[in-house]
Amino acid sequence: MIHFDNVTKVYTTQKRPALDGVSIDVDKGEFVFLVGPSGSGKSTFLRLVLKEEKPDKGRVHVAGKDLARLSNWKVPHLRRRIGCVFQDFRLLPNKNVFENVAFALEVIGKPRRFIRKVVPEVIELVGLEGKAGRMPNELSGGEQQRVAIARAFVNRPQILLADEPTGNIDPATSIGIMKVLDRINRTGTTVVMATHDAAIVDSMRKRVIELEEGLVVRDQTRGVYGQAY
Amino acid sequence: MRAQFVLSETWIGLRRNLTMTIAVITTVAISLALFGGGLLVNQQVSEMRSYWDQRITLTIYMCNEISPAQTCQDNGPATDADREALRADLDDMPQVEGYTYLTAAEAWQDFQERIGSSNEALAEAAQEGDIPDNFRVQLTDPSHYDTVRNAVTGSPGVDSVSSDQSVLDKFYDLLDGLKWAALVVALVQLAAAALLIGNTIRLSAYSRRRETGIMRLVGASNFYIQLPFLLEGAVSGLIGGLIAAGFIVATRYTLLTQIEAWFQFDVGLGTGSLLYVIGVSIILGVLLCTVTSFLTLRRYLKI
């Protein structure tokens, strides 16, 4: 599903590469934690998957497509197969829960009837039934993140990328978020989650890829956050 | 493609930057009105030219006692024989469509009638006899003007040959000057309008960066992301163009009508020409705004 072949990415403002000859394979339906200190290359990895950045060396394949050969005007179609969740939720404050989720479908031109059918299903899937009419500022952090996940998943992407989705949420609520992500993973969606949250990684016992200074220092199935544990 | 979504986004953008939108519309309207005014004058001049070219007459003034020309001084006033000879010459010339002869009395009368109403002082100052008797010659084609003029100049008893051409040329020059002045100011204004539109669209893109960021992430096509901004520019241009059209129509029915009345002829600028000017102005407004928006977006809306 995601295939990195000896990928190097250097940002022009920095000497040290953000990713340094990284080769990673993520299969369809996998759940992968991406761990490592800040600046280890986690976000760069996610940006390369979305083709927000281009690698300086190596090849990136996502959903069977060689991104180097993907023309710019086809990038939106790639992104429709990838859902994204962020630490800061990125909801639209002037739209309610339903509208926020529906927005993702409206802007790719889905018919209204389809939207009316699908959005409530996804809102229920993330555990927000009965809150479709709420505005984001009336929701807790955990609930807002659920809306963001619903928006990322409403188009049934093959891949869900999550960049520290629990970074702004207390540990108890984080467990709920992880359950939602796990539920999504069980529908066959590949989930890649970058995180600093050791407790979550340890409790889930999923594949863990650890990056440090742009290198893969550990790739472990059913791993934990740090080797010290 | 969901038209309703795009239109509502466009509307939100226009409303959110209302003051800037008004500034854009005003600038576009003024610049297009000036541009349209220039075009209008241009159309008017060319219509007047073709009107006058068909009616251009040559006036051959005969010598009289007070003619200052050297030939008249030497040979004295024109004699009847001179006039008969000139008549014969004119009859022989194929370029001459026809002519009428005005005696000094008739010429004075004609002058009183034409000038008397608009310039009384001049009419009163002119005495009968100041204007020599003359031939009014109609040409088959205005391009024969020089041929005929050269042929009769120097004939016995001929004082001078003049035509409306020289008067009209001065008028054309004036209108040409007006036209270019209007077009240059319009150009400067259009440049200012373009900068304003660029800024407005930039502001609009900035204030909606959250929405466009999400649109990008969920895979909305570039066209879909840009379309509301492009429409925002296009709508501003269209409204500006429509206001300018109002100005242009007003100009047509006040200024040009006055000019026509002043010159006592009826070359009413046709509705066709008016529609052409309005059409060109509106299209220019919409194109200018849309293209500027597009160029701005390429810089400020990362896809």
Q: Would the CB atoms of A107 and B213 count as touching at under 8 Å? A: no
Which residues are registered as beta bridge partners of A134?
none
Q: Where are the strands (E) in chain B, listed by range?
A: 57-62, 96-102, 134-139, 158-163
Task: Name the closest residue on chain A to residue B225, using Cα atoms.
Answer: A107
Task: Read off the amino acid at residue A61.
Answer: H
Q: Are A1 and A49 in contact (CB under 8 A)?
A: no
Q: Are B207 and B9 in contact (CB under 8 A)?
A: no
Give the whole-angstrom CA distance, residue A99 versus residue A101. Answer: 5
Q: Which one of A82, A83, A107 has the shortest CB-CB distance to B220?
A: A107
Q: Would the CB atoms of B224 and A109 count as touching at under 8 Å? A: yes
Pairing type for strands A57-62 and A65-66 reads antiparallel
pLDDT beyond 60 at B1: no
Q: Would the CB atoms of A84 and B217 count as touching at under 8 Å? A: yes
Percent of chain B with pLDDT strictly greater than 70: 89
Taking only the tens place, the pLDDT of each residue in B51-81 is 776 666 788 888 887 777 777 777 777 788 8
Token output for B263: 């010159």
DSSP per residue over chain A, as a string?
-EEEEEEEE--TT-SS-SEEEEEEEE-TT-EEEEE-STTSSHHHHHHHHTTSS--SEEEEEETTEEGGGS-GGGHHHHHTTEEEEETT----TTS-HHHHHHHHHHTTT--HHHHHHHHHHHHHHTT-TT-TT--GGGS-HHHHHHHHHHHHHTT--SEEEEESTTTTS-HHHHHHHHHHHHHHHHTT-EEEEE---HHHHHHH--EEEEEETTEEEEEETT--S-TT-
Closest Cα to residue A103, out of A151, A49, A71? A151
Å between B32 CA and nearest CA of chain A: 35
3-state DSSP assignment of residue B94: coil
Residue of B11, B217, B229, B302 to mutate for A, most A C-beta atoms under 10 A: B217
Task: Read off the amino acid at residue A15.
Answer: K
For range B95-99, the mean pLDDT: 82
pLDDT at position B258 is: 74
Å between A226 CA and nearest CA of chain B: 31
Taking only the tens place, the pLDDT of each residue in B162-199 is 776 666 777 778 878 878 888 888 888 888 888 888 88
pLDDT at position A81 is: 94
3-state DSSP assignment of residue B218: coil
Å between A107 CA and nearest CA of chain B: 5
Q: Which one of A73, A80, A92 has the shortest CB-CB distance to B218?
A: A80
Q: Give me the sign of the Cα torsion angle A105, A110, A113, A114.
A: negative
Q: Which residue has the higher pLDDT, B7 or A28?
A: A28
B303 to chain A, any CB pair closer than 8 A? The answer is yes
Confidence of residue B102 (pLDDT cuts 50, 70, 90): confident
For range B199-228, the mean pLDDT: 87
Q: Would the CB atoms of B221 and A108 count as touching at under 8 Å? A: yes
pLDDT tens track, chain A, 229 positions: 899 999 999 998 888 899 999 999 999 999 999 999 888 899 999 999 999 999 999 999 999 899 999 988 889 999 999 999 999 999 999 899 999 999 999 888 889 899 999 999 999 999 999 999 999 999 999 999 999 999 999 999 999 999 999 998 998 899 999 999 999 999 999 999 999 888 899 998 999 999 999 999 999 888 888 764 4
A 10 A CB-CB count for A126 gives 27
Alpha-carbon torsion angle B122, B127, B128, B132, nearest 10: -70
Q: Would the CB atoms of B217 and A106 count as touching at under 8 Å? A: no
Task: Residue B224: list chain A partners with CB under 8 A.
Answer: 107-109
pLDDT at position B267 is: 55
Which residues are registered as beta bridge partners of A86?
A163
3-state DSSP assignment of residue B134: strand
Residue of A78, A89, A90, A106 to mutate for B, most B C-beta atoms under 10 A: A106
pLDDT at position A229 is: 43
Give the whole-angstrom CA distance, residue A149 versus residue A125. Answer: 10
Q: Are A24 and A216 in contact (CB under 8 A)?
A: yes
Overall residue count recorded for chain A in this entry: 229
pLDDT beyond 80 at B44: no
Q: Would the CB atoms of A155 and B2 count as touching at under 8 Å? A: no
**Residue A113 exposed, middle or buried by CB count within 10 Å (0-12, 13-18, 19+):** exposed
B153 to chain A, any CB pair closer than 8 A? The answer is no
Q: Model's pTM, two decimal places?
A: 0.72
Å between B168 CA and nearest CA of chain A: 60
Residue of B214, B218, B225 to mutate for A, most A C-beta atoms under 10 A: B218
Task: Name the closest residue on chain A to residue B208, using Cα atoms.
Answer: A92
Q: What residues contact B236, with CB distance under 8 A and at least 6 apart?
A: B14, B21, B24, B25, B28, B197, B200, B289
Taking only the tens place, the pLDDT of each residue in B236-287 is 999 999 999 998 888 878 876 776 666 655 556 677 888 888 899 899 999 9
A 10 A CB-CB count for A187 gives 11
Token output for A9: 């990415």
